[in-house]
Structure 1
């Protein structure tokens, strides 16, 4: 934990530093979790992430990983707990699209995800989907994704490559080329 001048704030150093971390990273974590879980669940999950981060803040080791990667490790655990909800949500969006036979659906307008993309994401293995979404929606580097998921960087590269290949196979010309990156911050991969 970086040194904090105790005379500059009435808060204890741990609390002051955590407040700085919260202000710096909460919007990014919230945006990512809203995209993964929906608005309400994303907000609840963001709360869970920062409560857990505060409770475990003494375990943060800046020599092991940057703070954002440590936070996304907690995010990954929270998402794993919400995984069944996420599967039901993606399945419902896919069903809504098939039920109305339309090119877009109300679910598409709500989530910003095309029905075809939802279907592909839903069918990706969890590890591949998590690595892809952390690098794309979470805007983490491969190194940060590896630290967040506690896996080797080579595994991250393999998972992202497999996920991109699945997108390319399933979405055809709609999918980005293998050599390009999926636009960061875009719901359309």
Structure 2
């Protein structure tokens, strides 16, 4: 059985209107990202499943307050995910036995913030939505830290094209990732 998911705008409007079918589509589209963020932050599959469930229950309960004009649905869900992860980490810390702080500081490297992980995963997801050539340009610029000229040489495309791809891609990413907290 093949189903086509509605575009983000249509899905966002249906979700904010309280459509149960939209909830299913939102879950299908965004639960892998939510679960991955939770799993990376919590390093516990059961806790990640709990957070994923909490995120979608909270999102459904607050669906009427979601305004598609204020930002993308995925970013709104990542915001809820960040809060649920923070709550889970707080609860875990509260229940953990107390350990001498100096020992912890000496033996454990600080884990990456779940907020940083969430933002990185969201940006990576948005990069994947770009067309092939702009996506390659952006990945070389951000992940390999190449200059515009180096990207042009590696991809054998004009320098002006590289600059245009980066400018347009950043504008698209900025628009899609704006979230009003």
Which of 29, 33, 38 pairs up with 2:34? Answer: 29
The answer to whether the Cα contact below 8 Å between 2:18 and 2:64 also exists between their aligned partners in 1 is no
Question: C-alpha distance in 1, partners of 2:115/2:60?
Answer: 25
Aligned to 1:134: 118
Give the direction of change, closer, same or farther, for the CA distance of 1:28–1:36 in structure 2 (3 Å limit): same
Contact 2:18 2:63 in 1 (8 A): no
Larger Rg: 2
Question: Is the CA contact 1:65–1:147 (under 8 Å) kept in the aligned structure 2?
Answer: yes
1:80, CA displacement in angstroms?
Answer: 2.2
| TM-score scaled by length of structure 1 | 0.48
The answer on 1:121 being equivalent to 2:111 is yes
Q: Where do residues 88-99 of structure 1 align in structure 2 (5 Å cutoff)? A: 98=107
Gaps of 5+ in 1: 5-11, 99-114, 123-128, 151-189
SS in 2 for 1:75: helix
- The CA deviation at 1:120 is 2.8
Deviation at 1:146, TM superposition (A): 5.8
Q: 1:16 aligns with which of 18, 21, 33?
A: 21
Where structure 2 has 5 or more consecutive residues not aligned to the other structure, the ranges are: 1-8, 127-172
Q: Secondary structure of 2:110's match?
A: helix
Q: Which structure would you say has the larger RCO, counting Cα contacts within 8 Å and 6 or more residues apart?
A: 2
Is contact 1:25–1:68 with CA below 8 Å preserved after alignment? yes
User: Kindly tell me: are residues 30 and 131 of structure 1, through their superposed partners in 2, closer, same or farther at Cα, counting changes over 3 Å?
Assistant: closer
TM (norm. structure 2) is: 0.50
> 1:39 corresponds to which residue?
45
Once the two structures are TM-superposed, the CA of residue 20 in structure 1 deviates from its matched residue by 0.8
Q: How many residues end up aligned between the 2 structures?
A: 113
> RMSD of the TM alignment (CA)?
3.6
Going from structure 1 to structure 2, the CA distance change for 1:138 and 1:40 (only over 3 Å counts) comes to farther
Aligned residues of 2:55 and 2:81 also touching (Cα < 8 A): yes
Aligned equivalents of 1:75, 1:138: Cα separation in 2: 11
**What's the counterpart of residue 78 of structure 2?**
72
Contact 2:34-2:52 at 8 Å conserved across structures = yes
